[in-house]
A and B are shown apart, each in its own frame.
Chain A
């Protein structure tokens, strides 16, 4: 039986009720979110069920929404069921004061560096990660540069002040 988005949605709702919510299908990829305490439970469920078998983690990254009060940071998992060739996107949101999210390293060895990268750039604290330290930036850095409060260009510059092109 082909694995359809509808079926995945039904299975998730059966298991987790209305805690798994906000189902969307942007450009055909099933996207949903869950409370951050449940992230490992959802990942484990998707991994273990033979009918779903999302056993390949394609990608993991974070997005910062500074205007989303209380849920500023989103951690996004892209999962792939290789047997059925279906991809899904799974998000958990966390507030920026206590950005603690459980680490998926026990389930996916590949999550190790992806989580380190996410920590490095967004400061998401992956609880249970074996070696959570910066990976691409220097160890001495004391901020998380991909957050939106850090504009790309130096703010003291005046020579590029251009109203017309929004720089």
Chain B
């Protein structure tokens, strides 16, 4: 029998601490990544993160694909707010190609991007609620995420991985149902958000669970390359929408909410405030859209026949349109050679696209700056010395999306 005993790793009997594998498929990780925690009782001594379980080699695949075929890849980065990724990619292409989009397109894009931001923050904040033991908020706000998804559906036909828009604009104009749904959202959502805040913001249990949990100073956050709500919760007012405006964000009036301690509670507050600001932005965009009259009110794409797909009814009936359609789909048009870095304010941070082209039909190199890949490395510093249950909340309040982390 002595030959068949279980082989334990060296020193595992003598050591006084417990090793705990949190993930890769633990329900509390909300995604496929692993934390190897070293615990003394319930206190965390060290944490080692393992990522890459759903790595799909997007950057390599992108080197063989023309521009339009890369849009569906960007969907699958942060899939909680896919339209922001799509539009960020299209804005990058437009920058490379030197395309100027009409104002109306910019405003339509802003509406969709801010809706996506709301949907993303909604998920993140309500999941923080679920992880602290409050399920109600999560179920309550889900119907408004559903409404946002219905708006996407009206515009592009899909819900989660949207593949929305084209280089230079949208595939079709927003129909009346879409505008009605946006109006409905603007009318009903403030009350819901208010109620969501009533459930959490001054809730004693929630406050005691989150205040002081996973804090980070502004210097450390900057040094770690934090961006988005997580950086703002630490007190740095950096927002790509304001610092390097894209898609006419400079014309909009909104505030950047900031926190001070960078803990889970501040991250929650910053996200909630951002949802209010997003609503303000959407309202302004709707007002600006109402000012377009006559022909201007029908514009939904830039005039770039080399990159914008012709209308389907022309493709079916006209030779030239068919040829252009074919050329664009197959990526037969060479891009100008160049080197572009363009970033947009994704829902969880600065989402950057670094695109190098050598004049061929596909990128020579495309790198995604994925915010949560960069700030997840701070996880050990955020959780060291705290309790195991805090580690779970830190994970959900950082808004980690495995699809984005692993690209």
Answer yes or no: A136 CB below 8 A from chain B CBs.
yes
Is B354 touching A108 in the complex (CB atoms < 8 A)?
Answer: no
| Contact status B339-A113, CB under 8 Å | no
Task: Count A-B contacts at CB 8 Å.
Answer: 96
A71 beta carbon closer than 8 Å to chain B? no
Look across to chain B and name the residue whose beta carbon is closest to the beta carbon of A111: B225
Residues of B near A78 (CB, < 8 A) are: 341, 352, 354, 369
Residue of B nearest to A167 (CB): B64
Q: A61-B367, A78-B341, A152-B64 are in contact. Are A114 and B354 (CB under 8 A)?
A: no
Closest Cβ neighbor of A63 among chain B residues = B365
Give B342-376 interface residues, CB cut-off 8 Å to A. 343, 350, 352, 354, 356, 361, 364-365, 367, 369, 373-376
Q: How far is the CB of A90 from chain B (nearest CB, A)?
A: 12
Check if A137 sits within 8 Å of B339, measured CB to CB.
no
Q: Interface residues of B, CB < 8 Å — how many?
A: 45
Structural contact, B222 and A59, CB atoms closer than 8 A = no
- A residues near B (Cβ < 8 Å) are 26-27, 29, 31, 55-59, 61, 63-64, 76, 78, 82, 85, 87, 89, 108-114, 117, 121, 134-138, 145-146, 150, 152-153, 165-166
- In the A-B complex, the 3 residue pairs with the smallest Cβ-Cβ separation, listed nearest first, are A110-B225, A136-B52, A136-B55
In contact, B340 and A58 (Cβ under 8 angstroms): no
Return chain A residues, CB-CB under 8 Å to B222: 55-56, 82
Q: Which of these, A27, A29, A56, A110, contacts B377 with CB under 8 Å? A: A110
Chain B interface, >50% SS class: mixed
Interface residue? B236 (CB, 8 A): yes
Q: For the complex, give the distance between the alpha carbons of A109 and B381 in Å.
A: 11
Is the Cβ of B225 less than 8 Å from the Cβ of A57? Answer: yes
Give Cα distance in the complex from A29 to B343, angstroms.
13
Residue of B51, B63, B350 touching A58 (CB-CB under 8 A): B350
A80 to B172, CA, bound (A): 37
Report which of B236, B341, B378 forms a contact with A82, defined as CB distance below 8 A.
B236
Chain B, Cβ-Cβ closest to A76: B354
Given A58-B369, A137-B55, the answer on whether A146 and B60 have CB atoms closer than 8 Å is: yes
Report whether B374 and A145 are in contact in the complex, using a CB–CB cutoff of 8 Å.
no
Is B224 close to A, CB under 8 A?
A: yes
Check B60 against A114 for contact (C-beta < 8 Å). no
Q: How near does chain B come to A121, taking the closest CB pair, in angstroms?
A: 8
15 A-B contact pairs sorted by A residue (CB < 8 Å) = A27-B338, A56-B222, A57-B225, A59-B369, A64-B365, A78-B341, A82-B236, A108-B225, A109-B223, A113-B374, A136-B51, A137-B52, A146-B59, A146-B60, A165-B330
Interface centre among B64, B96, B407 (most CB of A within 10 A): B64
